[in-house]
Amino acid sequence: MSHQPMIETIKDNKMHYLLVTKPGDHKYLFEWLNDFTELSSFETIDEKGRTHQYRWKNAVPLHGEADAVTVNFLEYHLINSEGKITYRNSWVTDFQVSEHNIIQLVQAGRCRWKIENECFNTLKNQGYSIEHNYGHGKQHLSYNMYLLTLLAFYFHQIFELTDGAYQACRTKAGSKRYLWEMFRGTIQFLVMDSWEEMMDLYLNPDDYEVTKTKKS
């Protein structure tokens, strides 16, 4: 993702970026770093005896062309107590990198696996039924369904942070897939007046039955 057209698009939309940068994909960038400059660096040792090494350099050309965009580079190595590198990665960003924020930037960069697992994996395997080819082509109904599914997932993320009833439903169900199946089964037989009523039914089925009996 850390190529110039993508970075320019991000900047045109007034957004920030923190993108993985590999030596094989950015040969000139890494040669420039190795041959022409000394990087700022420091390291820390945690309670498990692991060494965390950080290096960075601001205002680096992304590639060797005259119109190369300027980026800020950061690199991280995790070394176990036996001296073996167990994780390494590097990124480019538009944030000015310093010793005061590089740990936070590395932590943010390492969240990619979290996004992959908790976003894409959830959309594929936790009841949303999103596949790689789902919704391709803007002239097809499936694309609209794809957008609606993403909007639903977006709201569900907000609910997980802010809605106590939804959080209780998630805890009770154990998995999103099971929760969605329960909700689908409910609306096949009952007409719900609101999302809140459906969640209350799932959490308190006995109270709901009593209430419905009294209404009738």
Cα(189)–Cα(55) distance, integer angstroms: 60
Please give the average per-residue pLDDT across 110-129, as a whole number: 80
Do 69 and 142 belong together in one domain? no
Segment 139-177, tens digit of pLDDT: 665 777 788 888 988 998 899 899 999 999 999 998 888
**3-state class (DSSP) for residue 105:** helix
Do 10 and 78 belong together in one domain? yes
Which of 110, 140, 166 terminates a domain? The answer is 110
pLDDT at 209: 59
Mean pLDDT over each residue of the chain, to the nearest integer: 87
Do 103 and 12 belong together in one domain? yes
Do 83 and 175 belong together in one domain? no
Please give the average per-residue pLDDT across 170-190, as a whole number: 89
Which of 3, 99, 97 minimizes the C-alpha distance to 42?
A: 99
Do 63 and 161 belong together in one domain? no
Do 134 and 188 belong together in one domain? yes
Do 85 and 176 belong together in one domain? no
Segment 37-66, tens digit of pLDDT: 689 999 999 999 999 999 999 999 999 999
Model confidence, pTM: 0.62
Q: How many CA atoms lie within 13 A of 99 on its CB side?
A: 6
- 46-50, 73-77, 121-125, 174-178: which range is least confident on average? 121-125
Task: Show the domain range for 204.
Answer: 127-215
